[in-house]
């Protein structure tokens, strides 16, 4: 069966608005509403949540406000893969992603280079999948399309593993592949799932402390100790390792909230955080 060039969106109209004009207004509104602390340096990476825009869009707005107006040539979006594919690292088999705001071309040459280096270092690389149902990578794309000035190409990676060695090598290899490029990294992750709001804030604070300490190793330690969790742990850690290798020197947490702040139901919430990695 042939693969369509543009990946058809499985979530436009449900996870976010399918009407281009409304979607642009909503995304711009989330970014406009973000009040950032003083940021010294140039963003090399951001951390953003990936629930439906209704639930986590306000938090995502902080991450994308930090990079608004930038013009990278390549954006690497690293997300979890929530669906049970039997592979540790995946990418798209399509040549582009489509959203209501337009088409984003996939940077195939860089993906091939990344895949080849991963195979040498890990013994396996990126498995391409067609028509995947994964929301956590796509949900970031309308924000990128509205925040960035450039016509960038996309390097999409989806992570199914929480193995720290695999994630470290992915991060190092991403940095090696992108070292000569004008690049922005995006780590797509939510934090704790389905605790009461007080517990969620405690668990998320432990994870965000490791993010702000610029410690991908610490993320795995916090999870192993049961003190925090992130569904995109592998993606988040990989991006922190990559950002460090690309010259990132500090991480600033920008915002945290939970789904309860939107729904008013604080008995069982999902935690969302936004952060930026800066280099001098």
Query: pLDDT tens digits, residue range 231-275?
Result: 999 999 999 999 999 999 999 999 999 999 999 999 999 999 999
Q: How far apart are CA 157 and CA 255, in angstroms?
A: 25
The mean per-residue pLDDT over the stretch 97-111 comes to 97
Q: Say whether pLDDT at 41 is over 80.
A: yes
Q: How far apart are CA 263 and CA 266, in angstroms?
A: 8
Say what the pTM is: 0.97
Residue 1 pLDDT: 47
For 121-145, write each residue's pLDDT tens digit: 999 999 999 999 999 999 999 999 9
Q: Say whether pLDDT at 56 is over 50.
A: yes
Residue 150 pLDDT: 80
Q: Say whether pLDDT at 3 is over 90.
A: no
Q: Say whether pLDDT at 160 is over 90.
A: yes
Strand pairing category for 89-92 and 183-188: unpaired
Two structure tokens written together for 38: 């003083």
The mean per-residue pLDDT over the stretch 150-158 comes to 95
Superfamily of domain 14-279: LigB-like (3.40.830.10)
Q: How many CA atoms lie within 13 A of 216 on its CB side?
A: 28
Domain borders along the chain are 14-279
Confidence band, pLDDT 50/70/90 cuts, at residue 4: confident
Residue 122 pLDDT: 98
């Amino acid at each position: 069966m042939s693969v369509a060039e543009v990946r058809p969106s499985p979530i436009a109209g449900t996870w976010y608005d399918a009407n281009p004009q409304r979607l642009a207004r909503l995304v711009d509104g989330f970014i406009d509403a973000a009040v950032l602390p003083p940021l010294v340096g140039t963003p090399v990476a951001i951390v953003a949540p990936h629930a439906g825009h209704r639930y986590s869009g306000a938090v995502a707005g902080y991450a994308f406000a930090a990079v608004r107006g930038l013009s990278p040539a390549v954006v690497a979006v690293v997300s979890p893969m929530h669906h049970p594919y039997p592979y540790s690292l995946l990418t798209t088999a399509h040549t582009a992603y489509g959203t209501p705001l337009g088409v984003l071309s996939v940077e195939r040459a860089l993906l091939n280079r990344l895949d080849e280096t991963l195979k040498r270092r890990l013994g396996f690389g990126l498995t391409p999948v067609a028509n995947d149902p994964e929301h956590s990578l796509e949900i970031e794309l309308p924000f990128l399309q509205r925040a960035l000035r450039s016509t960038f190409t996309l390097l999409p990676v989806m992570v199914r593993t929480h193995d720290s060695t695999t994630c470290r090598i992915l991060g190092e290899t991403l940095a090696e592949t992108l070292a000569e490029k004008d690049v922005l990294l995006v780590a797509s992750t939510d934090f704790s799932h389905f605790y009461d709001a007080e517990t969620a804030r405690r668990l998320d604070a432990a994870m965000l402390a490791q993010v702000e300490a610029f410690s991908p190793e610490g993320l795995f330690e916090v999870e192993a100790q049961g003190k925090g969790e992130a569904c995109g742990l592998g993606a988040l850690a990989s991006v922190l390792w990559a950002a460090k290798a690309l010259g990132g020197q500090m991480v600033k947490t920008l915002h945290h909230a939970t789904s309860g702040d939107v729904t008013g139901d604080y008995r069982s919430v999902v935690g969302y955080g936004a952060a930026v990695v800066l280099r001098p």
